[in-house]
Chains A and B, each alone.
Chain A
């Protein structure tokens, strides 16, 4: 059965690694729903957060293939209830939408969104939340005219206690190469 999984991979910050990781999905013809790359809590270690829809069997195999890449420190996958996650959405709407008691201001309050900037011609609204929440606000703003809309990839943290830094310490303790 296909369902949504969030894959998290930690890697050294190396050129080309993003391609190596995405190849693993594309060669299996699996679409990446969302992808975010950023520096992690450990300096020099980067973190990939990848959302895919596939079977658990497939996600296990792909995570192992990611983890075996040289330069990848670790990779794992999570169900929705094992992580805390958010996305950020920006909506650019005409400034006139706010005028004459149109209710947009109330919409912004009700949806825990906020106004980032007000210009003579347009207003930019920001909302963080799950994709269904940001989409819901999109639908509500649509009648007022949406000039631009952009939503980020998922960012997430796990509910588990073991932190990356602990894992890295374990890696450091592994014996060095005996072949040299």
Chain B
């Protein structure tokens, strides 16, 4: 019988441990993040994640941690960071309330398909299920709003869990994942080695492109008389901006964007016809029901885009390009469904597309533009009397920045105004909460956006309601030493809810009037300069001073209290019945 000598034993042990080192779970987590080239983390420490924060202390030269004032802020900031940097966002929080405070931000990232890896601390595994202090089942809580989540109870699971988390978050239909790590797993030591997943058997984010369907779609496009292209967030997420322009130009297709797709097609391009949806432009909404072919690129026919589905795109065949197979035929019945990321599919389509112009069809959109300008935009963006209108502020901001600034918004009327009137010419320059519609998103998103794109001007647009939900993050701005321009449109109302009360609840303004503090004074207390604008004549100078300031700056602008945002597709109405007043 062969015997193993001491030398052989030593050899085997050395081979086993080659490239490995004995580290704690917490160190393993940080080392794994470094392997994934993570250089920024947004978070908030607490009892059950302290070992991880302790390990982080040793890597301050490699990883920057942004200490927020509330975990929701960390989640939104990590999301916006991902959107402007193109990387996967990372966010830390402790167990219990730390983890539950993240949920809104996780749900927001899920709604908008943004890759963020959330790491939460958890009570020791011996206490799991015992209602221990600050124990919540965050894995259970986050299940409906994460693409994948996992609870780590042993340190040795950390590298694999992290490797899988990064792949899942940033491939296919991107989205948030959550890894919950028990305290004992953070403290245990094991032989660390990091290996990326070569594949996950049950997860295939790269569907094979069906060329028969591509050719079928090209045939429909070539034979269409009134085609429209709907460009969604998927175009940005797959970097298909150039390809969608090429398709639009080659086939002469009017292109409209969804709210989250806004920067995927330049607003100053002659083929651009506007934004789709409830507060989108008149032309693309009305013409949806006259079009004979819709080419939907990386969008999901959200109810805010479609209005009444029974009366939607009534004359159109539909080509739907979408990475998430579950979205195909979910809301709108497609003629040709192409299961693919936007870039691959449009690239595959282009060689089969014939040159076309559709001049008369384009002119129909221009007639709509004129009508919308005369009936809506003129009074919203070019008023000469009365109180300041939100539209004129955003128009001036767009002119002064030439569309080069990253704009983050909160949710509500100001969001729709920013979407409608900012000059969207740079990809990923518009960061907003689409799917979930989260008030309080604007300010923390601005922080993440600035850290993700430090060379760019970042301007936040928020209402007085949303700003008050997360304005404590001004503390984060100061501590992180970053320059954010904050614009608060103050109408002393929860504007969008008030608009609905005005239009659909007989002006019964139930709990929508809001008294506000002196925002500039509050900002001053944080060490941020700013000014309050009450008159139209002050606006231009104030905007210039804000943009010229090298540091953070706040502009509180008192705007028309009871202005309504038009056009509007009423809830339950057809897109063809969009109202101009």
Contacts and interface: CB of A to CB of B under 8 A. Distances in A.
A175 B206 contact: yes
B326 interface: yes
Contact of B197 (A172, A175, A180): A180
A15 to B, nearest CB: 7
Nearest to A19: B143
Contacts of B171: 177, 179
B130 interface: no
Interface residues of A, number: 28
B326 A16 contact: no
A171 B168 CA distance: 17
Contacts of A16: 139-140, 143, 149, 151
A67 B197 contact: no
Contacts of B201: 12, 73, 168, 171-172
B479 interface: no
Given A68-B324, A70-B147, A70-B168, A19 B202 contact: no
B223 to A, nearest CB: 29
A140 interface: no
Interface in A157-180: 168, 171-172, 174-180
B325 interface: yes
Nearest to B164: A70
A174 B204 contact: yes
Interface string B315-355: 00000000011101110000000000000000000000000
B148 interface: yes
A27 B148 CA distance: 18
Interface centre among A71, A177, A180 (most CB of B within 10 A): A177
Contact of B198 (A64, A72, A177): A177
B310 interface: no
Contact of A64 (B147, B203, B206, B325): B325
A70 B200 contact: yes
A65 interface: yes
Interface in B275-302: none
A174 B197 CA distance: 14
B326 A70 contact: no
A124 to B, nearest CB: 34
Nearest to B330: A61
Interface in A52-88: 60-61, 64-65, 67-68, 70-73
Interface of B: 139-140, 143-144, 147-149, 151, 167-168, 170-171, 173, 196-204, 206, 324-326, 328-330
Interface of A: 11-12, 15-16, 19-20, 23, 27, 60-61, 64-65, 67-68, 70-73, 168, 171-172, 174-180
* Top 9 closest pairs, chain A to chain B, by CB: A64-B326, A176-B199, A180-B196, A70-B148, A176-B198, A73-B202, A68-B326, A65-B326, A70-B203
13 contacts: A16-B151, A20-B143, A23-B143, A27-B144, A64-B326, A64-B330, A68-B324, A70-B200, A70-B202, A73-B202, A177-B196, A177-B206, A180-B167
